A and B are shown apart, each in its own frame.
Chain A
Amino acid sequence: MSKNALSPVEHIKKRSNYLRGTIVESLADPLTGALAEDDTQLTKFHGFYQQDDRDLRAERTRRKLEPAYSFMIRVRVPGGITTPAQWLALDSLATTHANGTLRLTTRQAFQFHGVTKGNVKATIRRINDSLLSTIAACGDVNRNVMCTPLAETSAVHEAACKVAGELSEHLAPKTRSYHEIWMDGEKVAGTPDHEPIYGETYLPRKFKIALAIPPSNDVDVMAHDLSFIAIEKGGELQGFNVAVGGGMGMTHGEPDTYPRVADIIGFCTVEQVIPVAEHVVGVQRDHGDRTNRKHARLKYTIDDRGIDWFRGALFERLGFELAVPSPFEFRSRGDVFGWANDRRGLWNLTLFVPEGRIQDNGESRLMTALRELAPMHQGDFRLTANQNVIVSGIPDGERESVDRLFREHGVSLLQSLSPLRQQAIACVALPTCGLAMAEAERYLPEFTDKVEELLARHGLLNESISLRITGCPNGCARPYLAEIALVGKAPGRYNLFLGGDAEGLRLNRLARENIDEVAILATLDNLFGRFVRERSSGETFGDFAHRAYFPEALAS
């Protein structure tokens, strides 16, 4: 392909008439469970992905059957907050229209897996009936804006979360095609559709925004295209430090692709947030690389031209310059499990969701427990950036009955989980993710068992260490910010990354390439041994691994 030729997806967007394409016809084609190829790109903007059960793919082809196509539908959940009624609606859809589980994502959203083509429309309608949506849950647009789910922690949290909601609303696509296709909205003849912010070809690539409120870096603030770090003074929200150009994704064997932590480029006031976001999006829309999707995220736009160019371009559009960033300090990441009180005087219970999937699994009937809790629950349910759920807004008097409910359904309230397991996350990967090269979600519990065994042997079981596994280098579980990360390379084989920091601000590094479990465990075993012997006081495992494994990194 010539260097300047637009990537095929650009043409698809362009001729799609604001994301309509032939989605309606594709859904109606009874001969295949799939969509027409072009439409598979467009439906992402509507919130769903075509997938197939990769466990069955080869065998079905031998049987002269097409792959077992189904769809992953992602629900856009502003702030990660759902009402009990919404929870029940989603729960019931999961059983009637999907594979019986609800996936919690690393961006505080829900996913349904295994929705067949015939059920897609009904599912999306019912999601909308429950006052949630799927629009722009995926696609070359701004995605779900992340923010700490517990707004009620402080006034600063409340104010920041409000900003997140406004941002999300402001940057949502405005095309009428969504309503037209899924809600049988009327086609307004004559008046052309339009997208005030995006234009008809939308962005060159996905775009992600997160807000973090120090000292918690629960959203991995450095991993997003655009992020805002809340700056507080005297219990009031002053504004935000603005960071740009974060991103995780890379491709094996392509050094031009890489994870990148965001650059902090200044400070803005609360009122300036919307214009800043709109113009960052604008710069990316106009300058992002539309010829190569592997090189189209904002991080490359910035690296190609330099951060100074970017600041200049942005300030010019804004008509003002950002102020000097304010100091801040992150002291933690990850979720704090168990009960916590908030400024309403209500209680919040953060539940550990194994592998991020709400389901009944043998003794532990988490899905049923939440389903039974929902009708009695006065508050709401909140999703965290680490695939966990918070039952929020419980009056003091009801704590005990909530505890009992979970206990009765075999849901562990954490007494027994190691810090390693509590923080560990994995992306979905096999069997649904079409890009997966190795197992992740399905492998996480087993791998964690084995690492726990090693830690126990070295007396490190109470050490807080972040572990993340992804099935491929795209980085959906933000692995490059973990202290230990496995990035899938082939079935049973991973690249081992080591040395992220405890706060999630430093990228880890590739330690060993393409190794199997035995080699991974041997490497960790060895390193844990050294850690015990050589760690300096208070040193975290990530910091130790960073200096022990990559001495050259320290030299520079």
Chain B
Amino acid sequence: MAAVPNPKIEPPLPGESLQTLRSAVADFDYEQLLWSSGYLAGLARASVAGPLPVAQPAAEAGSDQWVVFYATETGNSRRIAESVAERAGEAGIAAQLQDLREYRPKSLSKVTNALFVVATHGIGDPPDGTEAFFEYWLGDRAPRLEQLNYSILALGDSSYADFCATGQVLDERFRALGARPVVERVECDLDFETPASGWTSSVVEHAAKNAAPQPAQVRAPHLRAVSSRSQYTRENPFLAELVVNQPITGPGSGKDVRHIELDLEGSGLSYLPGDSLGVVPQNPPEVVHSLLDALQLDGASKVTVGGEQLSLAAALSAHREVTVISRPLLEKLAAKHGELQQVLSDRERLTDFFGTRQVIDLFGDYPIDWDAQELVDSLRRLTPRLYSIASSPDANPDEAHLTVAVVQYEQFGRQHWGSASSFLAGGASQVPVFVESNDRFRLPEDGSAPIIMIGAGTGVAPYRAFVEHRREHGHKGDNWLIFGDRNFTSDFLYQLEWLRYRKDGTLTRMDVAFSRDQKEKIYVQHRMKEYGRRLFDWLERGAHLYVCGDAKRMANDTHEALLAVIEDHGGMSREEAIQYVADLKANRRYQRDVY
């Protein structure tokens, strides 16, 4: 394949068809043309039978060519990479986008200029699907990379102990292999816009300095679903009406899970099963009040946020993270309260700290005397939360359903609330939303392919969309759901619907694991093993396997169970099983969405 795709592509359409197409779009304005391009791209995707063709390895880029790699799970890295490529193109630099999931690891040996935008997921792990790349380059047999000029933008969330771990280890490794960092690594927290844009400027500037001018080139980003073609985005969310807010756990449950329905009419937002909905929350007033109390500040005092004057209360409720603790905040407090240093330096304690405590616990236990502005400056920007969409767009036009576990708990003698979940459950009538498309979690193109869906708790949400979608389209493929939660009586999310789907044959099979209904804990991974024979048979029949839900434990446990099942029932060694799973992944037959 040529290093640079020919900009003057010969249309693969016979003259007449091309004519038809031209006249059909003759009157379209800019927006409409853009939309149509996405629409046609969507059609193209839908017409590809079987798994998507794996993209060709990125060009063995010439010395002035830059490859912009990204490793993403929730799309941030991809979006940044796209804008890097665009700005490079504008600066006259040949830049090519490359998803690391679809890249043959070895090919990097032939690349001279590379930019990496990489997120960290799981507990300090690379994004799902990119493991092969990292295993290869972090492994003992990785070749030297003397030819490589690179820079890394690391995405992360400083409320995790292993902040930006993926970017860090990659950077270290590349250095060790002899590659040259041309711009120092930049680490971003969830409010990544500013640092990301700074890094982009630096790398583009560097590339421009060292490059002979070239015609602008941006390789078209990977075909994407139509969903991104609404005027409403993360930056400009759609104000959706919340029409249903229904508790779906039983009265005796230890959890409060809500079925939420949002009206998307008029938004032009569209989505596919597997996508998530981004929700831009307003913080719970209780939390804002308790922070004001703890710091003895007046909510009416004026503060400046992003150049705008507003009241402290308003800033805290709409612009700042007031629940989740970030690392900079912790560090800032540690400067005054030495005992927090110990937390910061102990990974276990840090993880536990982030997992159980919220901002109010910090201010309650480690008092400070900040003024309003300092408080606002010390808190991270409020970031949208993602929720798996639990409905099929075709069965519910103009609606999106969510399954939301309400975060509310008492600990350390204080009441705690989650920001977005409380916002959704607490009576919000209008919710700013956007669609976060997720091509890593898709139904098979082939409606007759069997699928196995494994989910715990709210992890069942996308499967409601999957099953509804397949039923709506009359897809005949077998559907097997393995669901887990705490108690049968109170936590069997959407039980009535599953029973109905089983009765009408849409669900071929369903197994459940209720961990607290008996003395020994039983989880979904136990059911996977219990029905291992069948699981393996289904995989051999071409089944696609999905895992959704808790990242902390379930993701690992189900992965281990899968390997064990393949070993036991496929008569394979550990290595062979690992390869089997790798092949499943490569063929997009093993997809995970864990959070």
Interface residues of A, Cβ cutoff 8 Å to B = 30-33, 56, 59-66, 68, 116, 118
User: Secondary structure of the A side of the interface?
Assistant: loop
Query: Which residues of A are found within 8 Å of B259, using beta-carbon distances?
Result: 64
Q: Do A63 and B488 touch across chains, with their CB atoms under 8 A apart?
A: no
Instruction: List, sorted by A's number, 21 A–B pairs whose CB atoms are closer than 8 Å.
Output: A30-B488, A30-B511, A31-B495, A31-B512, A32-B495, A32-B499, A33-B488, A56-B251, A60-B250, A63-B248, A63-B249, A63-B250, A64-B493, A64-B494, A64-B497, A65-B248, A65-B250, A65-B496, A66-B492, A66-B496, A68-B250
Query: Which residues of A are found within 8 Å of B489, using beta-carbon distances?
Result: 33, 68, 116
Docked CA distance A493–B488 (Å): 36
Docked CA distance A33–B495 (Å): 11
* In the complex, chain B residues 322-349 whose Cβ is within 8 Å of any chain A Cβ: none
Docked CA distance A30–B526 (Å): 15
CB distance from A38 to the nearest CB of B (A): 14
Q: B502 an interface residue at 8 Å Cβ cutoff?
A: yes
Q: Do B492 and A65 touch across chains, with their CB atoms under 8 A apart?
A: yes
Q: Do A64 and B251 touch across chains, with their CB atoms under 8 A apart?
A: no
Q: Which residue of A lies closest to B514 (CB)?
A: A30
Query: Which residues of B are found within 8 Å of A63, using beta-carbon distances?
Result: 246-250
Query: Which residues of B are found within 8 Å of A32, using beta-carbon distances?
Result: 495, 499
Q: Do A30 and B248 touch across chains, with their CB atoms under 8 A apart?
A: no
Q: 3 closest A-B pairs (Cβ-Cβ)? A: A63-B248, A64-B496, A65-B495
Docked CA distance A59–B246 (Å): 10
Q: B581 an interface residue at 8 Å Cβ cutoff?
A: no
CB distance from B185 to the nearest CB of A (A): 48
User: Secondary structure of the B side of the interface?
Assistant: mixed
Query: Which residues of B are found within 8 Å of A65, using beta-carbon distances?
Result: 248, 250, 490, 492, 495-496
CB distance from B527 to the nearest CB of A (A): 10
Docked CA distance A285–B510 (Å): 43
Query: Which residues of B are found within 8 Å of A59, using beta-carbon distances?
Result: 251
Query: Which residues of B are found within 8 Å of A31, using beta-carbon distances?
Result: 495, 498-499, 502, 510, 512
Contacting residue for B495 out of A62, A64, A116, A118, CB 8 A: A64
Query: Which residues of B are found within 8 Å of A33, using beta-carbon distances?
Result: 488-489
Q: Which residue of B lies closest to A60 (CB)?
A: B250
Q: Given A30-B512, A33-B488, A68-B489, are A61 and B496 neighbors across the interface (CB < 8 Å)?
A: yes
Q: Which residue of A lies closest to B492 (CB)?
A: A65
Query: Which residues of B are found within 8 Å of A116, using beta-carbon distances?
Result: 489
Q: Which residue of A lies closest to B490 (CB)?
A: A65
Q: Which residue of B lies closest to A59 (CB)?
A: B251
Mask, B481-521, CB within 8 Å of A = 1, is 00000001110111111110010000000111000010000
Q: Which residue of B lies closest to A117 (CB)?
A: B488
Q: Which residue of A lies closest to B502 (CB)?
A: A31
Docked CA distance A305–B68 (Å): 94
Docked CA distance A56–B499 (Å): 19
Query: Which residues of A are found within 8 Å of B490, using beta-carbon distances?
Result: 65
Query: Which residues of B are found within 8 Å of A68, using beta-carbon distances?
Result: 250, 489
CB distance from A288 to the nearest CB of B (A): 34
Query: Which residues of B are found within 8 Å of A56, using beta-carbon distances?
Result: 251
Docked CA distance A118–B497 (Å): 22
Docked CA distance A444–B494 (Å): 38
* In the complex, chain B residues 182-210 whose Cβ is within 8 Å of any chain A Cβ: none
Q: Do B495 and A66 touch across chains, with their CB atoms under 8 A apart?
A: yes
Docked CA distance A403–B499 (Å): 54
Q: Which residue of B lies closest to A32 (CB)?
A: B499
CB distance from B523 to the nearest CB of A (A): 14
Query: Which residues of A are found within 8 Å of B502, using beta-carbon distances?
Result: 31
CB distance from A63 to the nearest CB of B (A): 5
CB distance from A33 to the nearest CB of B (A): 7
CB distance from B6 to the nearest CB of A (A): 55
Docked CA distance A133–B539 (Å): 48
Mask, B513-549, CB within 8 Å of A = 1, is 0000100000000000000000000000000000000
Q: Which residue of A lies closest to B246 (CB)?
A: A62
CB distance from A413 to the nearest CB of B (A): 38
Query: Which residues of A are found within 8 Å of B494, using beta-carbon distances?
Result: 64
Query: Which residues of A are found within 8 Å of B498, using beta-carbon distances?
Result: 31
CB distance from B461 to the nearest CB of A (A): 13
Query: Which residues of A are found within 8 Å of B517, using beta-carbon distances?
Result: 118
Docked CA distance A116–B510 (Å): 21
Q: Do B488 and A66 touch across chains, with their CB atoms under 8 A apart?
A: no
Q: Which residue of B lies closest to A65 (CB)?
A: B495
CB distance from A533 to the nearest CB of B (A): 52
